[in-house]
Structure 1
Amino acid sequence: MNALPLWLDVLIAVLILIGAVFALIGSYGLAKLGDFLKRLHGPTKATTLGVGCVLIASMIWFNAQGMLSLHELLITLFLFMTAPVSAHLLIKAAMKMDGSIKPKEPAAKLKQGD
């Protein structure tokens, strides 16, 4: 195993810490927020960013060891592409099942229709 330069060790450690903090915040939001729409923001925003930071740190570490690491890059890209789409579909399904959570019409649009 190769010894890494100090700046690279610090970068990897910072990415892992940032990722862990964001994942913790997202998980806490999922568990503690009130309704479905609020709970959906935890995993789709904060946790996605947290897991992305950890995967990027892993990719940097493996590349510094001389091993090409495309698995982490593919996982990160797949995660960042699918999380917003799945959240959008969950919100659309929730709005279809419960019409009371649909947003109200903006005031400017109501005035144009008169």
Structure 2
Amino acid sequence: MAYSSTNPVRKLIDFGITSAGSFWAYESTHAHAAVEAAGFFSGCAFGSPGNNAVGMRVGDLLVNINQSTAGTSAITLHRVTSISTSTGFGSALNVTVSAASS
């Protein structure tokens, strides 16, 4: 299952004085391996058109809260590593995060 604006990533706090420096939370049934997929946070980048545009920037931090009924619930910490688009000018800007911290 992919990211959806019906369950958006939420900004918790701004902590930096530069353009990047926000802390985000995403709570879902997605395991950390799913959110680490390239461009998982479709359209979530700052300046992206559309409903998913929440303002994530490279350098921001994300806590992924995986709520699973299968007993594999976990909380992982990630950093926004890149912003990309697969279709060019005027398209959604997708966010990719780092592998989970250990």
TM range (shorter): under 0.3
Length-normalised TM-score, structure 1: 0.18
Bigger relative contact order, structure 1 or 2, given CA contacts below 8 A and separation 6+?
A: 2
Bigger proportion of residues as strand: 2
Greater Cα radius of gyration, structure 1 or 2:
1
Bigger proportion of residues as helix: 1
Length-normalised TM-score, structure 2: 0.20
